[in-house]
Structure 1
Amino acid sequence: MVDIATRVWNHKWKIDPIVRSLIDTDFYKLLMCQSVLRNSPDTHVTFSLINRDTSVRLADLVDEGELREQLDHIRSLSLTRGESTWMRGNTFYGKRQMFSPGFMEWFENLRLPPYHLEVRDGQYELTFEGPWPEVMLWEIPALAVLMELRSRAVLHDMKRFELQVLYARAMTKLWEKVEHLQQVPGLRIADFGTRRRHSFLWQDWCVQAMREGLGEGFVGTSNCLIAKNRDLEAIGTNAHELPMVHAALADTDDELRQAPYKVLADWHEEHSGNLRIILPDTFGSENFLRNAPDWLAGWTGIRVDSGDPVEGGERAIRWWQERGEDPTEKMVIFSDGLDAGKIVALHRHFAGRCRPSFGWGTLLTNDFRGLTAGDRLAPFSLVCKAVSAEGRPCVKLSDNPEKATGPVDEIARYKRVFGVGEQEAMEVEV
């Protein structure tokens, strides 16, 4: 097992690049990238960094030269032979050759495109512009780099024994969560913590701890590199990005209204089984489900990623019942702001009524709260979103208005088109 504290100490001599592989990313990104390359290869999209917690002044913490060094290193990466073999030959979700030869040939020749970086009012303005299949692959590594550089900045002046004690306490904290989860019968939980992890080495340690502590209850990780290295299932389906970009390209209100369903119709043609998971909250879950075509009710499950999770799960169950489906055979995947206590409570509430599952993110791979003076390692909400497509603004409404993104006038228009009324604002949990 890696001595993380010693490796962190050695970061002062700049070993260990933060992102060491193009597959150090979430599995859903690669699935979506294949779909985008086939359907919209020339669509010009812009992604931008968004720090929802402006009290964390990243540009004051993270050295710009170090950030550029790490981003430039990512641009030098290409798929290795072993990584290509894993993607071409592995079985994902019970399917061999998940990735087509055409996609693999494109990916094997890919180098990530240039980035644009500025500093404004203590924050980094980091943007990526270009063909959608290329720039979309910047999202996860860019977030991982910034989160780990922030961790390294805080840890930089700690001495060897301080670091040893810090990581011993963090390991104990996580293991106590694992012990809490061991009491949950029939638990299904995966690591979703790549984008806001404390570090790559720490995420890898957390995954190993979950695997040993939870056994079959731990179903895999969203991180492709860790899945490959640890012989685990790579977990992930689709994300808000697809409907956001396709909606931005709509010419009329009616096309806008139909965009989320068109995206899933395309997905339906390509994937089956557990890859058919509905993510309904991009433009408001209630309206999405109310107007959804009947064939979507036959999909395997629904992911609840914003708003009140109990309300989201209950809404899904009612929707299936109204359409003659048996909710006990359906998956409800909770993935927003989870920690061990919430996971236990949600499982207890829904067990036997559906198949509750959990994608555990930031508070699995980055819970150092209370372990440093001034809580300087506490996680915060940093995202990288599609902000425009072919010059048109991208919008996300969410089930929590605090997570909405896009220009104010466009948000108002989307709310009108999608019939989204008053929403309850909730604190954004990492």
Structure 2
Amino acid sequence: MSGFVPVIESLLDTDLYKFTMMQEILHHQPETQAAYAFKCRNTPERPLAALQAELETQLDHLCSLRFSEAELAYLAKLRFIKSDFVDFLRLFQLQRRFITITAQGEDLDIRVVGPMLHCMLFEIYVLSIVNEIYFRQVPQASALAIGRERLKAKLNELNALSQQAMPTNPFVFFDFGTRRRFSKVWHAEMVGILVKQAAPYFRGTSNVLLAMQYGVTPIGTMAHEYMQAFQCFGSRLRDFQTNALEHWVREYRGDLGIALTDVVGTDAFLRDFDLYFCKLFDGLRHDSGDPYEWGEKVIAHYIKMNIDYGTKQLVFSDGLTLAKSIALYRHFAPRTRTGFGIGTHLSNDCGQVPLQIVMKLVSCNGQPVAKVSDTEGKGMCEDENFLNYLCDVFKITHR
């Protein structure tokens, strides 16, 4: 194809938690059918519908890719990745028939429907592709120059922190920017700079390909779709969170011990996060709501469970900047371990207004699922009756 520049050139160019969730589904719910829907939470400066033709071509290319033996060997070296899952990936190829795109006015309606094992990897690739072809419309050289200057300023912030960081609970952060990056070229350059210049604070990236290329730790455990899927997996709806956490514990047996708290809100999560789970999980991840209130609630919960919260980790990942991360660190580090997953502020701080795009699970095995969240506008459900029922079961209010 003349002039065609692929966005995705390796199936490892995605976030680690896609593989960890996929492995659990393979082992325990391989027959699951799923549907995912794309959503842009803000108003783009340019119509997304104009991207449709290029997006179709990019998806055709994406669905031609296979994992290489070198990539599979890298995954196999991760101690929590099992050999049968690697064998499955050796045969794996995304199927073009499972994803459809239609223009809805100036917006895009992107849907992925089919076996969950063959659909769940689409999410990060689709978001990365939409971002990149959208931002190709702006002057690249000037945008990258802005990105480099702003990254230099962030490195200066880190240098200032070195005089104040606490040795017992050091400041650590990770790159979580794959899904909303300005471009894959800038993402790779940015991570490379952090590897060289942000030690010892920079501890890894969620992007598996970049982790492999730069020899850093791939970061990630679970996302909302994993917890949401258990709303349809046979247990009472009231028990879906405990069922999901129990399956995770059995699959990973001590590895990947950070749980996500806001699928039906933190209060409802903590009611299910009993002494058993408090002891088994290494910590919790914040992704919506006020981060200070969340952290205090989590610490209070550990105290209530008679757990030494200083041994646990609070991981923050909701719309973080480096300055916000440092402020949260100063607040919580005297008491417990922290970690910060920074996304758009690292991978798409190039002078453009970032797209706030997501692709969420909306049904599973023919039944609706919901994400309620602790922040207005971050929830997602396509069935109002199910959403109301879910909220009634958990005694919560949807936003």
The TM-score by the shorter chain falls in which range?
Answer: over 0.9
Structure 2 counterpart of 1:146: 130
Residue 410 (structure 1) aligned to one of 357, 363, 386: 386
The 5 A counterparts of 1:42-121 are 42-56=31-45, 58-62=47-51, 64-88=52-76, 90=77, 92=78, 96=79, 98-114=80-96, 115-121=99-105
Q: Does 1:173 align with 2:154?
A: no
Residue 210 (structure 1) aligned to one of 189, 194, 206: 194
Distance in 2, Cα, partners of 1:172 & 1:57: 25
Structure 2 counterpart of 1:7: none
Distance in 1, Cα, partners of 2:376 & 2:205: 29
Distance in 2, Cα, partners of 1:383 & 1:81: 31
RMSD: 1.8
The 5 A counterparts of 1:21-420 are 21-56=10-45, 58-62=47-51, 64-88=52-76, 90=77, 92=78, 96=79, 98-114=80-96, 115-153=99-137, 155=138, 158=139, 163-184=140-161, 185=165, 186-250=170-234, 255-273=236-254, 275-298=256-279, 299-368=281-350, 371=351, 377-406=352-381, 407-420=383-396
What residue identity is the alignment partner of 1:144?
Answer: S
| Contact 2:125 2:179 (8 Å CA) reproduced | yes
Deviates more, 1:325-334 or 1:408-417: 408-417
Measure how far apart 1:73 and its partner are: 0.5
Change (3 A) 1:15 1:66: closer
Change (3 A) 1:14 1:354: farther
Deviates more, 1:268-277 or 1:197-206: 268-277
Alignment partner of 1:141: what SS?
Answer: helix
Alignment partner of 2:87: what SS?
Answer: helix
Change (3 A) 1:207 1:411: same
| Contact 1:249 1:392 (8 Å CA) reproduced | no
Distance in 1, Cα, partners of 2:203 & 2:224: 23
Distance in 2, Cα, partners of 1:261 & 1:33: 19
> For 1:363-387, what per-residue CA distance to the aligned partner results, in whole angstroms no more than 9, with x for missing partners?
110012xx3xxxxx21021000111
Alignment partner of 1:401: what SS?
Answer: coil
What residue identity is the alignment partner of 1:378?
Answer: V
Distance in 1, Cα, partners of 2:49 & 2:33: 32
Distance in 2, Cα, partners of 1:316 & 1:222: 24
| Contact 1:307 1:400 (8 Å CA) reproduced | yes
| Contact 1:47 1:129 (8 Å CA) reproduced | yes
Distance in 2, Cα, partners of 1:401 & 1:412: 16
Distance in 2, Cα, partners of 1:135 & 1:385: 12
> For 1:392-426, what per-residue CA distance to the aligned partner results, in whole angstroms no more than 9, with x for missing partners?
111000111311111222222111111114x7x6x
| Contact 2:221 2:259 (8 Å CA) reproduced | no
What residue identity is the alignment partner of 2:145?
Answer: A
What is the TM-score when the length of structure 1 is the normalising length? 0.86
Alignment partner of 2:198: what SS?
Answer: helix
What residue identity is the alignment partner of 2:55?
Answer: L
What is the TM-score when the length of structure 2 is the normalising length? 0.93
Give the unaligned 5+ runs of structure 2. none
Deviates more, 1:332-341 or 1:393-402: 393-402
Alignment partner of 2:132: what SS?
Answer: helix
Alignment partner of 1:380: what SS?
Answer: coil
Change (3 A) 1:321 1:72: same
Alignment partner of 1:275: what SS?
Answer: coil
Measure how far apart 1:277 and its partner are: 1.0
